[in-house]
Amino acid sequence: MHIVHVQVHVKPDSVEAFRRATEDNARSSLREPGVVRFDVVQRSDDPTRFVLMEVYRTRDDPPRHRETAHYAAWRDAVEPMMEAPRSKAEYVNVYPEDASWE
């Protein structure tokens, strides 16, 4: 599995709009064959901060995800909502075994 965590800091007046747009993107992303999970979490002590936790089958799947219409719509919609540019970190799975994610 290839795992990506995207850190997002949203402007305070954009939190609800960001949540709606990101939930729509997550639902659509889960229909992609290369996406195993697409979780969206929000910090409890700072509601302007989010993490998108994306789990892909292979390293080739994130670029395919970024080519979808729903990703492009999300990216363009949320860009003006960002307090700062988003950042990402990429991981490989350790435990549980990849087969456990299926």
The answer to whether residues 4 and 51 touch, using CB atoms and an 8 Å cutoff, is no
Length of the chain: 102
Phi/psi for 50 (5° steps) reads -130, 160
Q: Is 63 helix (H, G, I), strand (E, B) or coil?
A: helix
Beta strands in the chain (DSSP E): 2-9, 35-42, 49-56, 87-92
**Full set of structural domains in the chain with CATH:** 2-94 (3.30.70.100)
For residue 98, pLDDT over 90 is answered with no
27-72 pLDDT tens trace: 999 999 999 999 999 999 999 999 999 999 999 999 999 999 999 9
Cα 55 to Cα 12, 15, 46, 63, 88, distances in angstroms: 28, 24, 24, 13, 13
Which pTM was predicted? 0.93
